[in-house]
Structure 1
């Protein structure tokens, strides 16, 4: 991949680093004891789903994925990244590995992948046209 192709992945790379840093920050004592719920799920699960859904969408945008197999692969990358971050949280004293967080990450990534595929099928996402490069 040349440099011009890599720049399309910069939002995904930046966001993945943001996820990593915020996921590995120590949690202050007593924080999160009474997390509010929305539609039967704790608010943090919604944040997990939205975060990894965003990562999957940014990866799909960077790749300009049009076919199902590519989107599935990018969703799998997002899920694996979430699993890795979740395992790393086990090394942070005030954090821990959570299967529920992993499931929320995966659900968000899968839903984003489905939305991406449907949006492409119905023409809601146009093909990106890059400006001509200056030489």
Structure 2
């Protein structure tokens, strides 16, 4: 079963995730990136484990410290279509998220890593895009497995 989006994205997007040899694509929408837009990346760890993830964009580590279970951190790395976000546990890849495109407006990109299913240690990803609005916005995700 593919992860589901429970909050409608404010901008179009698509993703491809490689989770320990599993390749999944869900093209719910398309990101389109224009130059000069401010994109913040908020990463949350919903993977139940005592181990914490280090986060990389390509080969560049963007997390100052490993991200623990139930932790979230915000980054402002330079990103472009085709970049890969890599999640590592103890120097070993747990999974990766490929950015197909980016929104054509200022936005907060939310990426949640969680357990794919209760019978394995494979990871899965859920993503959402928050537009740059004055009003509060919320996304509710059920990642319990």
TM-score interval, normalised by the smaller of the two chains? under 0.3
Normalized against structure 2, the TM-score is what?
A: 0.22
Looking at secondary structure, tell me which structure has more strand per residue: 2
Looking at secondary structure, tell me which structure has more helix per residue: 1
Normalized against structure 1, the TM-score is what?
A: 0.23
